[in-house]
Amino acid sequence: MAGRGNFSSKLGFIAAAAGSAVGLGNIWGFPYEVGSGGGAIFVLIYLFFCFTLCLPVMMTEIAIGRKTAKNAVGAFEKLGYKNWRFIGMLGLLSGVLILSFYNVIAGWAFGYVIEMAKSNFAVADSFSTFTSDVFTVGLYGFVFMGITAFVVSKGVSGGIEKAAKFLMPTLIIMIIGIAVYSFTLPNAIDGLKFYLIPDFSKVTGQVIFNALGQAFFSLSLGMGAFITYGSYVGKNDNLVSSATLITLADVGIAFLAGLLIFPLIGFMSEGSMLNVGRGPALIFVTLPQIFGHIGGGLGSLFGTAFFTLLCFAALTSTVSLLEVPVAYLVDERKMNRKKASWLVAGTIFVIGIPSLLSAGYSQFFTNFITYVGAESATDFLSFIANVANDSFLPLGGILITVFASHVWKRENLHEELALGNPNYHQSWLKKYLNFVMPIIVPMVLGIVFILTILVNFFGF
């Protein structure tokens, strides 16, 4: 495998893969989905999907990657199914689109580190002024993409693994530190109740499929990120335990992010849990106001720490998003890794410019499209997020599971999962996969895919 690189250890792979999974989706997306999705009940449904549906998809992706030692596109060809390369191509496209807007949000987080360090809590009161200053936030995004390209250009063990091994533990320590602090604030308990005590009357169809969409995005599934990372894993590693640990890490950190944020909201709303921005504004508007409320040096310290942690989480995800097309160019086009990293990063930065402009600067991109039946326009960044996260990823997941069960065949999947895992053939997991993979997983994903499109774009 000279030239392609490998993770140096099982732990290195788990750190990098958990780094891919843990990102803005956990710390920014998860709490706001919980906030608008009825609290604890959303958490329960989300956990259910992560372990019953998503984990099998993750194992499948990693197995395809390790079996072939190829990128997301080449893997299908290597298995002997050239006509199925389009799944990898769809994954590449998803990765490029996701990174193009994800990096813009990461750039905002990066900017907030600076604002919090300057104790400029007022930035939250005029968030759209902040995001409309495209030259400043554009520069932040540019730097963020540059750091991402730098890490990827250093290769699998020297860049991706090394960065993840430093960033992930630091992130966990910071989250726990801030969460513990947030527990000490007045009315923290009301936030915890909202977060942890389920109210079953809040279950709706929308809550259920938002939870699945969140689980899928948060676990980085459906675009070949895990095919790519799996391709750098050693033949003796146990893929089942790795995938389980990655899922636990992802879910655990999302859960911790909630433990950090909801007590803060309880404090800010004086226990009512009302009148605080939920939705996407939660992190960029509500939290800084809370840090401002805490005030002085302490507010600035926690604010800076929080947004630094958000950047760390985002970086290990942007790295994995960039690695998917880079691995493709390195394997299939024989391009040098360094050149591929900088070239793709530069291109995606340019593709992301309309998203950058769509948060207030350009009216055209800010009110880009009005979906059928919608009352207001959707901005370009959200539009790309709707297309890539909510439509392409589930579609990719359906295609990957259908491919693995019916084209590549489950016996081959089992054989790969049994490497480094001698008890696999007797395990309940094997029976479970036989039960869910052929029809249940693709069908549930298919229903959610169709409903999401109908609801998102056609106002059902």
Provide long-range contacts, Cβ within 8 A and 24+ apart, for 406-413.
406/438, 407/81, 407/84, 408/64, 408/79, 408/81, 410/434, 410/437, 410/438, 412/67, 413/60, 413/63, 413/437
Q: Do 148 and 322 form a contact (C-beta atoms < 8 A)? A: yes
Using CA atoms, how far residue 224 sits from 183, 327, 372, 397, in Å, is 39, 11, 31, 9
Q: Which is nearer to ligand PHE, 108 or 361 (CB)?
A: 108
Q: Which is nearer to ligand PHE, 23 or 258 (CB)?
A: 23
Q: Which of 265, 311, 314, 273 is nearest to 291 (CA)?
A: 265
Smallest distance, ligand PHE to C-beta of residue 447, A: 21
Smallest distance, ligand PHE to C-beta of residue 398, A: 16
Smallest distance, ligand PHE to C-beta of residue 198, A: 23
Q: Which is nearer to ligand PHE, 395 or 418 (CB)?
A: 395
Smallest distance, ligand PHE to C-beta of residue 224, A: 9
Q: Which is nearer to ligand PHE, 71 or 362 (CB)?
A: 71
| Rg of the Cα atoms in the chain | 21
Smallest distance, ligand PHE to C-beta of residue 14, A: 15
Residue 139 CA to residue 271 CA, distance in Å, equals 39
Q: Which of 28, 45, 48, 35 is nearest to 195 (CA)?
A: 35
Q: Which is nearer to ligand PHE, 91 or 303 (CB)?
A: 91
Rounded to 10 degrees, the C-alpha dihedral 8/154/151/233 comes to -30
Q: Which is nearer to ligand PHE, 96 or 265 (CB)?
A: 96
Smallest distance, ligand PHE to C-beta of residue 371, A: 23
Q: Which is nearer to ligand PHE, 68 or 220 (CB)?
A: 220
Q: How far apart are the first and last CA of the chain?
A: 50
Q: Which is nearer to ligand PHE, 25 or 258 (CB)?
A: 25
At residue 369, what are phi and psi to the nearest 5 degrees? -150, 140
- Report the SS3 class of residue 358: coil
Chain-centre distance for alpha carbon 133:
26
Smallest distance, ligand PHE to C-beta of residue 280, A: 13
Q: Which is nearer to ligand PHE, 23 or 65 (CB)?
A: 23
Buried b / exposed e over 294-316, threshold 16 CB at 10 Å, is beeeebbbbbbbbbbbbbbbbbb
Smallest distance, ligand PHE to C-beta of residue 316, A: 9
Q: Do 227 and 60 form a contact (C-beta atoms < 8 A)? A: no
Residue ranges that bind ligand PHE, judged by CB under 6 A: 20-21, 23-26, 98, 217-218, 220, 223, 225, 317, 320-321
